[in-house]
Amino acid sequence: MSHAFDFGPLVPAGSPPPAVRWPGLAKYNFTGGNNDADEVPVDDLIAAATASLKREGRNLATYNLAHGPQGYRPLREFLVTKLKRDAGIVCSADDILLLSGSSQALDLVNAALLTRGDTVICEKDSYQSTLTRFARIGANVIGIPLDKDGMRMDALAAALADCKARGVQPKMIYTIPTVQNPTATIMPETRRAELLRLSEQHGVAVFEDDCYSDLIWSGQRPPALYAMSRAKNVVHCGSFSKSIAPALRVGFLVAPWTIMSRIMPLKTDAGSGSVEQMMLAEYCPGQFATHLPVLRKALRAKVETLMETLNEQFGTAAEFDDPRGGIFLWVKLPDTVDTMKLCQAALKQGVAINPGPEWSTDAKHAGARLRLCFASPTHQQIREGVAILAEVCAREFGVPTRSANISRAHA
């Protein structure tokens, strides 16, 4: 009988814990940044893929379709036009790097700027994958509290002053200013100007993660930090994951050459997938702008179903703000609820949620909070899933005490 080779001793110290086998998607899946399956423009994408492959498929014989390491130029040119129109960003195709999702931007910017022991600043509640990346690097993370307008500038100013007093020079402020994950807040223009002023005053770089900015219900967004910066200390990333589909794996980075030239040598994958870049470059100029309002309308309808069902099932026990865009609702339950435990108990009943502590630099503050993605479940799954969640929560924590106007004590 042969024994399996033990790779364990070869794995360097400090590696992440081993993965667990994928258990499959939960029946009621409120986790992750998944999109609405009914809103993927499948037929138009088929037509775009076919047309571009027929015309330029032979270029697949050359890495990056012979468009160089920054990726397929027509897609970068579409982004130049789009970013100018929507975000006020003035840049050229040479300032854009196409990536395998904006996740790759997080890896590359971190690799270019951070090393163990560095200090980074971000919103107190933030994107889980960003927080785990910072932890893995061994960065010291300072979480800045948010209010209804995003990261609080009084708290940022105080944190920067405190760093200065301690002789600590933070490397960067990572922020999701436009439909923040998980809080869905949108930072107004005046606050953006203040953030830039503080970053310049303290010599700190800004990393603007903007992947939800196409999903504001009104279609109107404040200008990007990248657009407003005079000091040019901002790098900006975006994605087609939330506006078209996450499985495409197409994202992008916009950065001044001084830092772009340090990032590019770190992208050692010989280019991101070219078929998706060609397909998007064919699809987007004519159809992206008409697709978005349809998607936003569908997402808005879903969040209305979610808010209505939460009100019905949890009553005043579930607190949340009506989001102005995005795919997430950040929900606060009574302090007696531990959402890490709720998450495990709900999963046994087929309901998957993201517990707050995994999305925060402050586990205590987020202990009774949870994040619900409303884009991917159907309306019926939202209704059924939230009803099960309320039932599990009542059983485990005694709240909510009433659901669907029926007292649980007598139900």
Ligand X SMILES: Cc1ncc(COP(=O)(O)O)c(C=O)c1O
Closest to ligand X by CB, 309 vs 376, is: 376
143 is a site residue for ligand X (CB under 6 A): no
Binding mask 197-236 for ligand X (x = CB under 6 A): ------------x-x-------------------------
239 is a site residue for ligand X (CB under 6 A): yes
d(CA 256, CA 233) in angstroms, rounded, equals 8
103 is a site residue for ligand X (CB under 6 A): yes
Closest to ligand X by CB, 101 vs 323, is: 101
280 is a site residue for ligand X (CB under 6 A): no
Among 176, 244, 346, 373, interactor with ligand X by CB under 6 A: 176
Binding mask 5-34 for ligand X (x = CB under 6 A): ----------------------------x-
**Coil/strand/helix, residue 76:** helix
Closest to ligand X by CB, 70 vs 313, is: 70
Closest to ligand X by CB, 239 vs 274, is: 239
Question: How many Cβ atoms are within 10 Å of 159's Cβ, its own excluded?
Answer: 21
d(CA 146, CA 195) in angstroms, rounded, equals 13
Closest to ligand X by CB, 212 vs 283, is: 212
- CB 202, min distance to ligand X, A: 24
Closest to ligand X by CB, 211 vs 317, is: 211
d(CA 205, CA 217) in angstroms, rounded, equals 30
Kindly tell me the burial class for residue 286, based on how many C-beta atoms sit within 10 Å of its own C-beta (0-12, 13-18, 19 or more): exposed
d(CA 12, CA 83) in angstroms, rounded, equals 42
CA proximity to 81, closest of 72, 98, 69, 93: 93
Among 251, 355, 356, 400, interactor with ligand X by CB under 6 A: 251
CA proximity to 253, closest of 396, 115, 83: 83
State the residue for tokens 């999963």. Answer: 347
183 is a site residue for ligand X (CB under 6 A): no
Q: What is the DSSP-derived secondary structure letter of residue 178?
A: B
Q: Residue count at the site for ligand X (CB under 6 A)? A: 13
Q: Provide the angle, in degrees to the nearest 10, between the axes of the packed helices 153-165 and 189-201.
A: 10
**Coil/strand/helix, residue 66:** helix
User: H-type helices in 243-399, by residue range?
Assistant: 257-263, 274-314, 339-348, 379-397
- CB 156, min distance to ligand X, A: 19
Closest to ligand X by CB, 131 vs 390, is: 131
Closest to ligand X by CB, 202 vs 236, is: 236
Q: Taking a C-beta distance cutoff of 8 angstroms, is the pair 377, 29 a contact?
A: yes
Which span sits near ligand X by CB under 6 A: 50-58, 97-105, 288-296, 330-338?
Answer: 97-105
181 is a site residue for ligand X (CB under 6 A): yes
| Greatest pairwise CA separation for the chain in angstroms | 70
Return residues touching ligand X (CB under 6 A): 33, 101-103, 127, 176, 181, 209, 211, 239, 241, 246, 251
